[in-house]
């Protein structure tokens, strides 16, 4: 009997030691991106998943964001500093609550809509693709992107602008936009907005997520595995008669914005895995080619950056693009817009002959 007890105790101690070692390894990698960059991509993805669940989040930082009764939240006008383990940047916020100056609000010709990728999470303001695009073309560009906005809210914030001069609308899509776009669709093209109390509760949960406790990272991995099992069993998720691309297009078409004379340029940005950034543009092009959509949607320019943006264009821990990645996007957008403008000028001159 005593021997059996000793074996059980030994096995329990061995398991605890093993789990402690695993937790220690995860702890070291989450806090040392310089070590992580030499690890295989699979390990990098695993550690990145953990980091995302405890990293600083700008839209919940009181110094950088505030509740908004009609759109949930915006960035807080003024200036703040925000960063993570791999970067620290200053944010200059205009009265609209987006990362740009006041002058950009006056009849911009190009408006950038999107979430944290387009906002410039992880890069200086001068390095965002919106700012570089303006410098490249000499055209007034407004960066109206806000972290965590889905397509529905990206369109909603534009109603606060003078869009009479808008000729180009650049929409950066992300796969997590689907939840907001689905809710917009299911509520008959209306998006319920969180209250000030709900926003405060999210901030409290966020503050808790920043705290570390022993076993936290193992628990995150266990919970991820459990959620995957639940998804395979079909016990989670909301099913609609619209797929991801339908919901994206629906959010634009039913935004209430006058886009008849606007050229829309769209691309997807889901993170460092190229495969995650390839399916959406291909599917969007196919759907636009065969679907019955208004001209401003049918003529949408869809870009695919899956072959251009590589591992070195992203942070190691964080899944956002760095300054080099923003430059690639800005240069591509510049070529597309300049080609479009040249063609339009040629068509205009030909019509006047």
**Statement: residue 1 has pLDDT above 70:** no
Please state the domain count of the chain.
1
How far is 318 from 303, CA to CA, in rounded Å? 23
**Statement: residue 309 has pLDDT above 70:** yes
Radius of gyration of the chain (CA): 23
pLDDT band at 238 (very low <50, low <70, confident <90, very high): low
Which percentage of the chain shows pLDDT scores above 70? 95
Please enumerate in sequence order all residues whose Cβ is within 8 A of that of 346, keeping only pairs 6 or more positions apart, or say none. none
Instruction: Name the residue among 114, 112, 120 with its Cα closest to residue 170.
Output: 112
Residue that has been written with the tokens 């495969």 in this structure: 275
Q: What is the CATH number of the domain that holds 101?
A: 3.40.50.1110
Average per-residue pLDDT in the chain? 92
pLDDT band at 273 (very low <50, low <70, confident <90, very high): confident
pLDDT in tens, 10-43: 888 888 899 999 999 999 999 999 998 888 888 9
In a domain, 270, yes or no: yes
The confidence score (pLDDT) of residue 11 equals 83
**Statement: residue 237 has pLDDT above 60:** no
pLDDT in tens, 183-202: 999 999 999 999 999 999 99
Which percentage of the chain shows pLDDT scores above 90? 77
How far is 33 from 28, CA to CA, in rounded Å? 9
Q: What is the mean predicted confidence (pLDDT) over 309-323? A: 94
pLDDT band at 45 (very low <50, low <70, confident <90, very high): confident
**267 by DSSP, 3-state: which?**
strand
The confidence score (pLDDT) of residue 225 equals 86
In a domain, 288, yes or no: yes
Q: What is the mean predicted confidence (pLDDT) over 153-169? A: 96
In a domain, 212, yes or no: no
Q: What is the mean predicted confidence (pLDDT) over 201-229? A: 92
pLDDT band at 2 (very low <50, low <70, confident <90, very high): confident
Please enumerate in sequence order all residues whose Cβ is within 8 A of that of 207, keeping only pairs 6 or more positions apart, or say none. none
Q: What is the mean predicted confidence (pLDDT) over 42-60? A: 93
pLDDT band at 228 (very low <50, low <70, confident <90, very high): confident
The confidence score (pLDDT) of residue 341 equals 87
pLDDT band at 240 (very low <50, low <70, confident <90, very high): confident
Cβ pair 104, 94 in contact under 8 A: yes
Cβ pair 156, 257 in contact under 8 A: no
**Statement: residue 92 has pLDDT above 90:** yes
Q: What is the mean predicted confidence (pLDDT) over 92-114? A: 97
In a domain, 22, yes or no: no
The confidence score (pLDDT) of residue 348 equals 62
In a domain, 272, yes or no: yes
Structure tokens at 82: 């925000």
In a domain, 218, yes or no: no
Of the listed ranges 11-15, 46-50, 158-162, the least confidently predicted one is: 11-15
The confidence score (pLDDT) of residue 132 equals 98
Of the listed ranges 11-15, 25-29, 119-123, 275-279, the least confidently predicted one is: 275-279
The confidence score (pLDDT) of residue 271 equals 83
In a domain, 110, yes or no: yes
The confidence score (pLDDT) of residue 239 equals 59
**Statement: residue 5 has pLDDT above 80:** no
Helix (H) or strand (E) holding 155: helix 151-156
In a domain, 195, yes or no: yes
Domain that holds residue 291: 58-205+238-351
């Amino acid at each position: 009997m005593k021997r059996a007890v000793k074996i059980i105790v030994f096995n329990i101690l061995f398991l605890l030691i093993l789990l402690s070692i695993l937790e220690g390894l995860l702890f070291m990698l989450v806090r040392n991106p310089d070590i992580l960059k030499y690890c295989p991509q699979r390990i990098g993805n695993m550690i990145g998943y953990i980091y995302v669940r405890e990293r600083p989040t700008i839209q919940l930082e009181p110094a950088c964001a505030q509740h908004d009764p009609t759109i949930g939240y915006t960035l807080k006008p003024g200036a703040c500093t925000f960063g993570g383990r791999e970067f620290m940047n200053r944010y200059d916020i205009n009265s609209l609550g987006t990362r740009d100056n006041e002058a950009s609000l006056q009849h911009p010709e190009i408006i950038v809509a999107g979430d944290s990728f387009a906002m410039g999470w992880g890069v200086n303001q001068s390095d965002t693709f919106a700012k570089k695009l303006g410098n490249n073309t000499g055209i007034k560009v407004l960066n109206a992107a806000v972290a965590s906005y889905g397509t529905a809210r990206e369109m909603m914030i534009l109603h606060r602008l003078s869009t009479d001069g808008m000729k180009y609308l650049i929409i950066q899509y992300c796969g997590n936009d689907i939840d907001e776009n689905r809710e917009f669709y299911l509520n008959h093209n209306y998006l319920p907005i969180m209250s000030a109390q709900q926003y405060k509760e999210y901030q409290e949960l966020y503050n808790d997520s920043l705290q570390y406790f022993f076993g936290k990272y193992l628990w995150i991995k266990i919970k991820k595995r459990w959620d995957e099992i639940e998804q395979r069993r079909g016990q989670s998720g909301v099913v609609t008669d619209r797929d991801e691309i339908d919901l994206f297009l629906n959010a634009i078409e039913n935004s209430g914005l006058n886009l008849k004379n606007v050229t829309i340029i769209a691309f997807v940005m889901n993170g460092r895995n190229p495969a995650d950034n390839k399916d959406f543009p291909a599917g969007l092009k196919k759907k636009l080619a065969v679907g019955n959509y208004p001209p401003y949607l049918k003529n949408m320019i869809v870009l695919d950056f899956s072959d251009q943006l590589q591992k070195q264009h992203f942070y190691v821990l964080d899944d956002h693009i760095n300054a080099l990645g923003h430059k690639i996007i800005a240069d591509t957008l510049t070529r597309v817009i300049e080609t479009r403008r040249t063609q339009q000028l040629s068509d205009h001159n030909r019509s006047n002959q």
